[in-house]
Amino acid sequence: MKRTSILFVCMGNICRSPLAEGIFAHLVEEEGLTDSFTIDSAGTGSWHQGDQPDGRSIETAKRHGIDISGQRARRIRSDDVATFDLIIAMDSKNIAALRALWPQADNIHLFGDLALERGEEIPDPYFGGNDGFEAVYARLLTGCRKLLSTLGADSASRSGNTSSVR
């Protein structure tokens, strides 16, 4: 059975993309589909490589029963475009950075287009307070549920799991 591989991307890989990775992994686990997905995150910038997610991202995830404290930031690598089925960027700046590296890649998508179906950008909460992280969490949760509903249907049919995302 082929696993679907997803890479969530934001600027520094410490706020939005670690939250998206954690949320999606949590939903996948709840549905019993962990064998169907490979999930990771990366940043278009390198200044946080090796760091944990921002403490506010960790706390926000923790309040919702998700532990992302073990994640470490990394910069997107040249082999990621060939390795991942889906590369999902949080905003147009990150889309532009990814397209500059791989102009012909057809697996690069905006989270708001693919998961929220309306082109919405996920704002960077880094320079704001905790409310911004909660708002980002809520948008990511909504999108990750829709994404799993779409992608999980195929995975569930292959594995015999027919439960749906709540």
User: Is 0.75 topped by the overall pTM?
Assistant: yes
**Domain presence at residue 164:** no
**Domain presence at residue 67:** yes
**Domain presence at residue 166:** no
Q: Which residue, chain included where needed, has tokens 């939903």?
A: 27
**Domain presence at residue 61:** yes
Pairing type for strands 4-10 and 37-43 reads: parallel
Predicted pLDDT at 41: 98
Catalytic residue among 15, 40, 124, 144: 124
Is 63 in the active site? no
Q: For the domain that residue 11 is a member of, what is the CATH number?
A: 3.40.50.2300
Q: Which amino acid is at 18?
A: P
Q: What is the pLDDT along the chain (166 residues), one digit of tens a residue?
A: 689 999 999 999 999 999 999 999 999 999 999 999 999 999 999 999 999 999 999 999 999 999 999 999 999 999 999 999 999 999 999 999 999 999 999 999 999 999 998 899 999 999 999 999 999 999 999 999 999 999 986 554 444 443 333 2
Is 124 in the active site? yes
Total tally of structural domains belonging to the chain: 1
Residues 15, 18, 23, 29, Cα dihedral to 10°: -170
Is 16 in the active site? yes
Q: Which domain holds residue 8?
A: 4-159
CA neighbours within 13 Å on the CB side: how many for 113?
A: 11
Predicted pLDDT at 140: 98
Q: In whole angstroms, how far apart are CA 72 and each of 25, 38, 52, 75, 163?
A: 15, 16, 5, 10, 31
